[in-house]
Structure 1
Amino acid sequence: MTRTDRQRWLLPSHLVEPGGSGAPRPRRTVRDWIVDTSLFLLAAFVGLIAADTSAQYTSEAVTLVDQLLGAAGCCALWLRRRWPVGLAVALALLNVVAPVAAGALLASLFSVAVRRPFREVAAIGALAVAASTAQAFIRPDPTTNTGLSIALGFTLILLVTAWGMLVRSRRQLVEALRERARRAEAEAELRAAQAQRLAREAIAREMHDVLAHRLTLLSVHAGALEFRPDAPPEQVARAAGVIRDSAHEALQDLREIIGVLRAPGEGGEAGDRPQPTLATLDALIEESREAGADVHLDTTVGDPAAVPAATGRTVYRIAQEGLTNARKHAPGTTVTVTVRGRPGEGLTVDIHNPAPAGPVPHVPGSGQGLIGLTERAALAGGRMDHGPAPDGGFALHAWLPWPP
């Protein structure tokens, strides 16, 4: 049994088939057939009891007419899904002269209460009460007091109507919960897609930060080999080694990021290399020094491992971008990296380089990394400022939270 079949078995047809409440239905479900047959048999049983009581005090002709009218009313219940209001009105009028149709009237009132709004239910219920009261005078029961007959009829109509309205409210609640679940599922999928998009944007910024540093090292040493072909073999070998190592690291970083960007099921394994933190800042400084840069690190953080990983990674990327910019725009200058902070006060990162001695060619795409780092710092709960320094150089200042 499929999911759709189970829904059609468990739910009423007006909640499964198109058209809504009161609309024509192309077919009855198994559940509809069971409910309709049960109501038909119940109405026929009540009609038989009423017919047996009526036969004791009326002629055979009247009894025969009552039985025919009662049978017609019970058979008409098969139309209650298509015309619930019209059938209830007709059975209420029939019940005035044929007490045998009382069972069919109660079944039709139940259908109206389940499928129609309260205003129509109240009007049909009032008509049924009026018809039951009129019957008590037109076709009185000799064994029952007239007032008791009127009260009994009113009570039965009220109970059946209330039961139908309760069923209607429950069905509406179930449908509302199902709609809410569908809407929540759709919103969850939308939030997941948005989170994935934001994650990919963060990975793209990470790619820029990482590859810009590696490729700058490649460019510097390749340029040195190009303009110094007469350099000593030791320097050539050292530059070639830096180029090889930087290219290898760039490929590793690129493979790791592309692995993360792969959609689920596309295959491939994500990189398992550890992410940089503040504890790896010394390695970054040393790498820049080996590439020929003059870098001075001044830090008061005694235990870099105690800094939260996300904050330390942001500090690392800021320092990496600052060193990359200094290498591109102020080659040969001394770069000072200062890291201060403690728990509860936050971390401050200052990177400064003086103005270069000669003209420096413009590098395409300059400034994009600083924009990305500003966004990264803001996402981490901090801030970053950058711009020309008073001595003509360039300064970068960032503050990041460090919880106590």
Structure 2
Amino acid sequence: MTSAAAPEYPWLLPGALASPTKVARRTTRDWLVDSHCFLLALGWLLVAVADARRPAPEIALNTGPAWLIPVDTVLGVVACGSLWLRRRWPVGLAVALLPLALVSATAAVALLIVVFTVVVHRPFPIAAALVGAYLVTTVVFNQLRPDPVMPFWLAMVWTTVITGLVMAWGMFVRARRQLVLSLRDRAERAEAEQQLRVAQARQLERTRIAREMHDVLAHRISLLSLHAGALEFRPDAPPEEIARAAGVIRGSAYSVLQDLREVIGVLRTDTDGGESPVPERPQPTLADVPALIEESRVAGVRVTVSDLVAAPETVPAAVGRSAYRIVQEGLTNARKHAAGTAVAIRLAGAPGDGLTVEIRNRWPVGDVPGPGIPGAGTGLVGIGERVNLAGGRLEYGRDDSGDFRLAAWLPWPA
């Protein structure tokens, strides 16, 4: 049970029976209810005492010996005062006041309130046992102090009916409170589950952003390294080439900073559940592959393309984005690990047959000149996960001819 429900109905918690003394402090509503119960019991006490002192004792309420009237008054005051303890020790108080039900008429309402408290706060077996005990005491009471205007059997019927009504009312109140707690618990659990789903969606989105950033940054940083290496090994290049390479470096660096700014902004605003103030840039599709290839050609990579895709405009966006990332990863790996080699890209497919993406480059011979471009070694792992999630197949490694081959098949519904 949640902590929010505990202060209002602590007796309905699972541990209430094991440690009944652990109750919450009275609320304003509890003070009002307890005050009304005390005043109601005290009012009955005054009515009973006044009735017992009437001039015609032969018709007074449950008369008895003269000494019994002050004793009964004292017992009634004790019963009324003990009502302030009924929330902390309902069962113990009911058992302690049980002997009063044998002789006291002034404590009748206070005893009914205690019985009602037990029915509301404790399980049915305990409440039923105490109610049965109180009904037994009424038999003795009606024998010791018979009503002067009502036969014994009619007095017992009235007593049983009133006690039964009090017990039924208490059971109704207990059932209603349990229902309220159950509904509140369900609402809080649903809210917690919704927050968990939001957190999971947020984590999945962060993971997706991390994958996208790996692909994008690895591609752009490899271009930066390639152009910077060209400037390092050819310091005597014509000014036009140097200017063109510097422009490419500047543009790639600016794009990298843009991407980093986007992902940092998303991660910052994501912590409080808000939306990013900067709209996410459109994701690349199959139509952006030619621009990606041209970017590598400008960087000096020899790329040949065989495009056999039928109706490329009908390729689903998710499939086209995966194809773009596969080509991007193949070009990045070729620049990292096989600098100077030619790269062959083949795209083929049709609706219903699937989309095939193949990138092939010669295996490098000897050491790569200059310092190698560091990598995390997770690019192909991420591509493999992306392809698996799309329901496709991925193959990579050296083939029989000695070339490195990266090939993927992606489903393309008809």
TM-score, structure 1 normalization: 0.84
Report the equivalent of 2:301: 293
Higher helix share: 1
Question: Quick one: percent identity of the two aligned structures?
Answer: 54
Change (3 A) 1:274 1:327: same
Aligned mates of 1:169, 1:103 — CA distance in 2: 23
**2:29 alignment partner AA:** R
Report the equivalent of 1:104: 110
**2:325 alignment partner AA:** R
Report the equivalent of 2:27: 29
Report the equivalent of 2:389: 379
SS at match of 1:386: strand
Change (3 A) 1:162 1:32: same
- CA-based RMSD of the aligned residues comes to 3.5
* Residues matched between the structures, number: 398
Report the equivalent of 2:207: 201
Mean Cα displacement is larger for which, 259-268 or 317-326?
259-268
TM-score, structure 2 normalization: 0.82
Mean Cα displacement is larger for which, 316-325 or 117-126?
117-126
SS at match of 1:100: coil
Change (3 A) 1:157 1:213: same
Q: How does 1:208-223 map to 2 (within 5 A)?
A: 208-223=214-229
> Could you list the per-position Cα deviations for residues 33-74 of structure 1 after superposition, in whole angstroms to 9, with x for gaps in the alignment?
211122223334445565566642536724444444334322
Task: Tell me which of the two structures has the higher relative contact order, counting C-alpha pairs closer than 8 angstroms and 6 or more residues apart.
Answer: 2
Residues 91, 101 of structure 1: 8 Å contact kept: no
Residues 64, 145 of structure 2: 8 Å contact kept: no
Report the equivalent of 1:127: 133
Report the equivalent of 1:113: 119
**1:112 alignment partner AA:** V
Cα offset for 1:156?
A: 1.9
Mean Cα displacement is larger for which, 351-360 or 35-44?
351-360
Residues 259, 271 of structure 1: 8 Å contact kept: no
Report the equivalent of 2:337: 329
Aligned mates of 1:345, 1:99 — CA distance in 2: 93
SS at match of 2:339: coil
Report the equivalent of 1:317: 325
Change (3 A) 1:25 1:260: closer
Aligned mates of 2:123, 2:239 — CA distance in 1: 95
Cα offset for 1:13?
A: 7.2
Aligned mates of 2:218, 2:30 — CA distance in 1: 69
Q: Return 5+ residue gaps in structure 2 as ranges.
A: none
Aligned mates of 2:82, 2:328 — CA distance in 1: 84
**2:348 alignment partner AA:** R
Q: Which of 6, 11, 21 is the equivalent residue of 2:8?
A: 11
**1:11 alignment partner AA:** E
Q: Structure 1 segments of 4 or more deviating over 6 A?
A: 18-21, 265-268
**1:371 alignment partner AA:** V
Residues 116, 167 of structure 2: 8 Å contact kept: yes
Q: Return 5+ residue gaps in structure 1 as ranges.
A: none
